[in-house]
A and B are shown apart, each in its own frame.
Chain A
């Protein structure tokens, strides 16, 4: 089974621009979560989507948004980029539903904001 894929792997943007990151979950997984990883803040939860609906949202400004498509693929968008948005953005998928399911992570997208 193919793992979680994320595109692009690397991205360089300038302040004020916007960016869209893409995530394709493992086949059959309906939940997709996004995390931000930075040296200072560690791993922080952004949001989680299940069946095209945002179920949970972390403590991030409204510049961070996402969506999920009917095939469970997900995108996240960051508008009006700031220097502090430079980070590794990780996508994770899980079977979700009832029970406790481990999340499987993609390789991440490294975003650099100049």
Chain B
């Protein structure tokens, strides 16, 4: 079965510093990976996806993610964090047998001024 793990419940970073939110995956076959962000009292917003091709995927709001097949990781990154980036971030993998996403437990990002 497909699964993703987000090892950090919370990540703290100062505004202007680079940020990384970690995600590792376990899949059979090709991984289709996604990052979503959730702000308080809101649904999930799509940030980016990896299907195939370049290992560095660029997404919305200046975020990017690096796909690493040997380490089975798909970490979310941003060169310079903003206070407004503070939110809950979810990594997800598409279940190849079913049309559904399997989500990680989420990582809360807190960017301090």
| Physical interaction between A and B | yes
Which A residues touch B87, using CB under 8 A? none
Interface size on B, residues (CB 8 A): 22
Write the A38-74 contact mask toward B (1 if CB under 8 angstroms, else 0). 0000110100101000011010000000000000000
Interface membership of A25, Cβ < 8 A: no
Distance to closest chain B CB from A31 (angstroms): 6
CA distance A103 to B42 in the complex (A): 15
Interface membership of A33, Cβ < 8 A: yes
Interface size on A, residues (CB 8 A): 25
Which A residues touch B113, using CB under 8 A? none
Interface membership of B22, Cβ < 8 A: no
Which residues does A use to contact B, with CB under 8 Å? 4, 6, 31, 33, 35, 42-43, 45, 48, 50, 55-56, 58, 90, 92, 96, 100, 102-108, 110
Q: Which of B54-113 contact A (CB under 8 A)?
A: 90, 94, 98-106
